[in-house]
């Protein structure tokens, strides 16, 4: 098997069949290119498992990078929130897969991030979407802060609060995070100049 293809087997009860199709067809852009199949890489049919094969070509895990400046940290956080939201629009909810520093991949310049699909289980759909996104982001933000330069914590905590206190929905929170990112960029640039 190629080094840039990851394969994992999971119990069929953790993924709906339609989710396997949606992810395999590439409709969820936040996920790395992934194929979910009843057959393993050798073509042997699996009984009660899915084979999840993911192409990580040109990407590396976030925890393989050095620390991030505040602007990069905010960008990673914002892209993750956007990805969680976009995936939910395809009926793949944040509570159904893992979001962590260990399964987020980025290109070499950390301008494009993608998530390795690691299913947790099928959601009960009782939790409002904003709460499900906030729950996923809480743990991820804590992990992200460990890879962020000093001073990033204020921005990440502000971004997390924007999601928590967003009475107007995720789109509004994402707009506010963009504004916060511009502010951070301006402040970081001013520090470099002086």
Domains and CATH numbers, the chain: 5-193 (1.10.510)
pLDDT for 193: 53
Nearest to 83 by CA among 161, 174, 13, 17: 174
> Looking at residue 36, what is its pLDDT?
96
DSSP state of 193: H
Cα–Cα distance, 86 to 191 (Å, whole number): 35
CA distances from residue 175 to 62, 81, 126, 166, 168 in whole angstroms, order as listed: 24, 11, 26, 11, 11
Provide the pLDDT for residue 145.
86
The answer for residues whose C-beta is within 8 angstroms of residue 117's C-beta and 6 or more apart is 23, 31, 32, 34, 36, 52, 54, 97
Exposed, middle or buried, 129 (CB in 10 Å: 0-12/13-18/19+)? middle
Residue 18 pLDDT: 92
> In the prediction, which pLDDT does 181 show?
92
How far from chain centre, in Å, is Cα 12? Answer: 22
Max Cα distance, the chain (Å): 63
Reading the chain (194 residues) residue by residue, the pLDDT tens digits are 578 999 999 999 999 999 999 999 999 999 999 999 998 878 888 889 999 999 999 999 998 988 888 899 999 999 999 999 999 999 999 989 999 999 999 999 999 999 999 999 877 667 788 888 988 999 899 888 887 877 788 899 999 988 888 777 888 899 999 999 999 888 877 665 55
Measured from the Cβ of residue 49, the count of other Cβ atoms closer than 10 Å reads 15
pLDDT at residue 192 in the model = 57
Can you list the positions of beta strands (E) in the chain? 5-11, 34-37, 49-55, 60-61, 104-106, 113-115
pTM of the model: 0.90
């Amino acid at each position: 098997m190629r080094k840039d293809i990851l394969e994992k087997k999971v119990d069929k009860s953790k993924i709906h069949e339609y989710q396997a199709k949606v992810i395999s067809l590439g409709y969820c852009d936040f996920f790395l290119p992934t194929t979910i199949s009843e057959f393993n890489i050798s073509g042997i049919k699996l009984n009660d498992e899915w084979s999840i094969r993911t192409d990580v070509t040109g990407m590396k895990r976030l925890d393989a990078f050095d620390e991030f400046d505040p602007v990069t940290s905010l960008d990673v956080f914002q892209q993750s929130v956007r990805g969680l939201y976009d995936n939910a629009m395809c009926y793949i909810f944040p509570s159904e897969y893992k979001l962590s520093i260990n399964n987020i991949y980025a290109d070499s310049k950390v301008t494009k991030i993608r998530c390795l699909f690691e299913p947790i289980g099928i959601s009960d759909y009782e939790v409002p979407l904003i709460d499900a996104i906030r729950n996923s982001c809480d743990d991820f933000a804590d992990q992200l802060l460990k890879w962020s330069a000093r001073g990033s914590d204020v921005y990440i905590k502000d971004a997390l609060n924007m999601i928590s206190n967003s009475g107007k929905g995720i789109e509004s929170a994402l707009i506010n995070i963009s504004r916060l990112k511009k502010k951070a960029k301006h402040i970081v640039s001013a520090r470099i100049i002086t």
